[in-house]
Amino acid sequence: MTNPGPLRRGAAAAGEFLRRHARLLRRLQWGIVTVYLFLLIVPVFLPLPDETAHVFDNLTVAAQFAFWGIWWPFVLVSMPLLGRAWCGWLCPEGMLAEWASERGLGKPIPRWMRWGGWPFVAFACTTIYGQLVSVYQYPRAVALVLGGSTLAAVGVGLVYGRSKRVWCRYLCPVNGVFHVLSKLAPWHFKVDGAAWHASTRQSHRVIPIAAVNCAPLLPLRHMQGAADCHMCGRCSGHRDAIALSPRSPEAEIVEVAQADRWQTRLIVFGMMGLALGAFLWSASPWLVTVKQVLAEWLIERDVMWPLADNAPWWLLTHYPEVNDSFSWLDGGMLLGFIAASGALVGGWLYGALHLADRLLPARATGTMDQLAQALIPLAGCGVFLGLSATTLTLLKHEGLSSTWTNDARYALLALAGLWSLRLAWRIAARRDGRHGRRLAAISAFALGLVPFLGAWVLFFSVW
């Protein structure tokens, strides 16, 4: 057997460190839970901050910056860097879900919960609803969206599974996004099939091998990739066959090729369609123009109820004390804009993927869904750019310069686009070795990116 290199030995040692210090990791998670609940609950009972409030002198602004300026944008960044380490090391919702499951009824997971469409549906509903109630701005909306998700996680844990994270595996609103982004991680817990098989054949073994409690319910023996692994390290060294190992960031997308139609819908219509509309609606001049035209049309016909801003805060943004309330027309326009973005951008891209797939010969190991996996870098970049817009807004309010931000955002978008094109080329190469066919398919793939990239460029020029 060849001697593993220093990087591989270091990675394996890191995995063993996680396994040996599981209790320390759990204490860290409880610390995060405490801070999370404090920032989630306390601002609800405080008055809304005015324009003079800042991060260092107002708890509500500090909580807003913690959740939307730091937490969500950079948790997203951590996925392609560390895999789902956030889920296994720090996530308060996952910790509470597992804690509840340890004390719950332990019922079997029902079939409806295993439906493959939940990641897309949960992400879409949470994204749209968060915009309707202005989750990035107001503590009550944060408590409703994030707190509601946490309560649901605890509720599922109390009923289903035993010491598992059933909510995280099947119903968490960001599970699907984390799943696809973690495929880019340069680390994973690798299973040595030969070593596993050898451990089962050792008849002289006196002490049976203890089972590993894999909280996200992975079949360890057949585990491939990092998409569902929470990187907790509990399985490190199991049967002398599992170890944290380095790998190519492209390996899981190009070689493992675990793709399906629901992942394609999440990437194309969710992360690159609906999310785009959710991030861009507030900066769209077209939305303002259409709203004004509709408002004038309604007033001319004496139809006034759509212009009323009397919806409850948990349905539409309603904070008259700071002159921020959505009318029914505002809510309808917002929904229409997000739906149109999902249909137009996602539909165009889906059609381009279908065309690219048709230009390549059919193969058992290659489908349109695998080709859609090449979009993961660009889809993740888009979600990060949208979330980080809140970060930049908060930093501007603190007086920090942001003259460099557009250049940085253009660079990120360009790099992510080039990476997606490279992945698409490599996937196409596994389908057809002829450069002509590949070039035609990649041209169709690139054409599908035009509306998505164009929308972000327009946003950068307006925002």
The SS3 of residue 250 is coil
Token couple for 137: 């701005």
pLDDT of residue 207: 58
User: Looking at per-residue confidence, does 248 or 209 come out higher?
Assistant: 248
Reported confidence tier of residue 394, pLDDT bands at 50, 70, 90: confident
pLDDT of residue 3: 60
DSSP string, 400-457: ---TTHHHHHHHHHHHHHHHHHHHHHHHHHHH---HHHHHHHHHHHHHHTHHHHHHHH
Reported confidence tier of residue 385, pLDDT bands at 50, 70, 90: very high
CB atoms within 10 A of CB 299: 11
CB contact at 8 A, 412 and 420: no
Q: In terms of DSSP H, where are the helices of 360-404?
A: 368-372, 376-397
Reported confidence tier of residue 405, pLDDT bands at 50, 70, 90: confident
Q: Distance between CA 58 and CA 62 in Å, rounded?
A: 6
Strand locations in 10-168 (E) = none
Q: Is the pLDDT of residue 390 over 90?
A: no
Q: Distance between CA 29 and CA 75 in Å, rounded?
A: 15
Indicate the pairing of strand 318-319 with strand 187-191: unpaired
Per domain, the residue ranges of the chain are 6-183, 259-462
- Give the residue-averaged pLDDT of 4-28: 91
Q: What percent of the chain has pLDDT over 90?
A: 78
